[in-house]
Amino acid sequence: MFRFESPQYLYLLLVLAALTAIHYYIIYRKKQQVKRFGDPELTRQLFLGVSRWRPEVKFWLAMVALMSFIVALARPQFGTRLDTRERMGIEAIIALDVSNSMLAEDVKPNRLEKAKMMVSNMVDGMKDDKVGLIVFAGQAFVQLPITSDYVSAKMFLETISPAMISVQGTDVAEAINLGMRSFTQQEDVSRAIFIITDGEDNEGGAVEAAKKAAAAGVRVYVLGIGNPGGAPIPIPGTGQYIIDEQGNTVVSKLSEEMCREIATAGQGSYIYVDNSSSAQKKLSEQIDRLAKAKMETQIYSEYDEQFQGFILIGLLFLLIDVLLIERESKSTWLSNLFRRQRPVTAICLLFFCLSSMAQTDRDYIRRGNRLMRDSVYDKAQVEYQKAIEKDNTNPISHYNLGNALLYQSKAEDAMKEYETAARLEKDKSRLAQIYHNMGVVLQSAKQFDKAVACYRNSLRNDPTNNETRYNYALSLFQLKKQQKEDNQQDQQKDEQGKNEKEEKEQQQQQQDKKEEQQEQKEQQPQPEQMSRENAEQMLNAAMQDEKATQEKIQRAQQQHQKKQLQKQW
């Protein structure tokens, strides 16, 4: 695809048309003056050494040089096409256990946070690999489809918590089966599933699922996290621990035997995860042992500047113009280099300087891109900011700056740059990618309504992006779930307020009844002391009223609670 970055400079080509008209008008005037002296053929013999064709050639050499510099000043560019590149890598699916038992603190800060840190370090070590993320408990679903977008992988990783899945338990078999369906269709690629769990397989069937995966050429690695001695499971924000139906504190233990069986069946390895960094090193070693295969990746190439060729053409024609003299002479070409230059030559050199100055913002962008490839994101940010100072209307500078900020976990600043790039960008493929990145940021911030809008805009510009379609569907699901939870919370608040109101009314009625009884007692002659039998009757009646009130409140609250499983860990 070809375009001019600064097409407004092409209007300067009209100057060439004006110069050409002036040139031929001057030639016409000279011919008219020569005719005054006599016959043109006889008069030409008087002008010895004057060439008839050299002035015309020099003029057109200068015009071509000037035209080349004007085109270079308009910054011709090629790019923004979909390329397929080959690279060496593997496909890895990470299945992360998010059951409540992963909140146990026998591994600091807890099992889940330790697992997330390991996955983050694992992703940081990847270069040409593809990674996908699955979360599972009693159920399993894809958190991130397999991709080479490591920034999205780390952002989705930060949002993982046990609250994502309402059905508790640990169904490792479902996670393996889902992982098998999540790989690409490309052949001859090494594939592996990395399961991070505490091994409490409540559902069963994990060993059989691992054998099927191994038969299909997919290795299954198990990272067992926790203490075999066990640890209680804290309830977040309460300072208490999960208890079973008998009222005993639940102790979650790492089942190393189960983890080893799954890894052996999957022709992989078992890695024990504790508070040290040895597990991370072993994981890196296992990944390095996997055979790297050629993988195809589709990327959008950037616009490449093509001004250099036009400048070289202009300089070549300008050099020929300098070496060529108008008069027929026996002097050498070297002596002609030091003669006085024509005004047109000076104009050409001026345009050459201007065209060179116009490329500085692209130079900053290229330096920033090199720093991004080297993972030096802070320095890349500086280069992109310099490019924006030179040309604030270039959407590529804002988009790349947004990416550099996003890699530094500055999501809010990145969103501002993406919004600016979206306003300036006209190319649909780039605009789709900008909206996709905006959707990822908003989705990680749990602003699902805005994320849905961004993904929808992305699909309008590029309906073929499967990753965007998946994120769009996932955001819709999360939005509906969030709205449902908000409605339930509102209903619970309304019900709680209603119960409190009823309780206050009952208390007021009891208070009024007591006051009425007190007034009746005051009007009747009272004995000096209440008998013991009467006191016990009144106490029992009060206790019965209180018990009935508490039972009513409990029944009202239980009507709005979800059906719980027998095991909540």
pLDDT, tens digit (0-9, with 9 covering 90-100), for 331-383: 544 444 444 444 555 555 555 555 554 456 777 888 888 888 887 888 888 88
Sign of the CA dihedral running 317, 318, 322, 328:
positive
Distance between CA 95 and CA 141 in Å, rounded? 9
Domain boundaries of the chain, sorted by first residue: 2-80+305-357, 84-299
Sign of the CA dihedral running 243, 244, 245, 247:
negative
The Cα-based distances of 256 to 201, 202, 223, 438 in angstroms read 11, 14, 10, 42
Residue-level pLDDT at 324: 77
Distance between CA 340 and CA 326 in Å, rounded? 13
Q: How confident is the model at residue 326 (pLDDT cuts 50, 70, 90)?
A: low
**Residue of higher predicted confidence among 557 and 291:** 291
pLDDT at 528 over 50: no
Q: How many H helices and E strands in the chain?
A: 20, 15
Distance between CA 227 and CA 233 in Å, rounded? 12
CB 87 within 8 A of CB 128: yes
Residue-level pLDDT at 561: 41
- Tell me if the bond preceding 40 is cis, omega within 30° of 0: no
Residue-level pLDDT at 473: 83
Tallying the residues shown for the chain, one arrives at: 569
Distance between CA 433 and CA 315 in Å, rounded? 39
Structure tokens at 274: 């504790």
CB 146 within 8 A of CB 132: yes
Residue-level pLDDT at 303: 58
> Range with the lowest mean pLDDT among 58-67, 107-116, 195-204?
195-204
pLDDT at 194 over 90: yes
CB 165 within 8 A of CB 198: no
Q: Give the residue from 329, 338, 316 showing the smallest Cα distance to 54.
A: 329
**Residue 497, amino acid:** G
The H-or-E segment that residue 397 falls in is: helix 395-407
Residue-level pLDDT at 144: 85
Distance between CA 265 and CA 492 in Å, rounded? 47
Residue-level pLDDT at 551: 63
Q: Is 506 exposed, middle or buried (0-12, 13-18, 19+ CB in 10 A)?
A: middle
> Range with the lowest mean pLDDT among 83-92, 272-281, 502-511?
83-92
Distance between CA 70 and CA 12 in Å, rounded? 7
User: Which alpha helices (DSSP H) does 125-219 contain, by range?
Assistant: 150-158, 172-180, 206-215
**Cβ–Cβ contacts within 10 Å for residue 553, how many?**
15
pLDDT at 539 over 70: no
The Cα-based distances of 556 to 5, 485, 552, 566 in angstroms read 68, 19, 6, 22
Residue-level pLDDT at 336: 47
pLDDT at 506 over 80: no
Structure tokens at 54: 């050299």
Tens digit of each residue's pLDDT (9 = 90 or more) over 130-172: 899 999 988 888 888 888 878 778 878 888 888 877 777 788 9
Note the CATH number of domain 84-299.
3.40.50.410
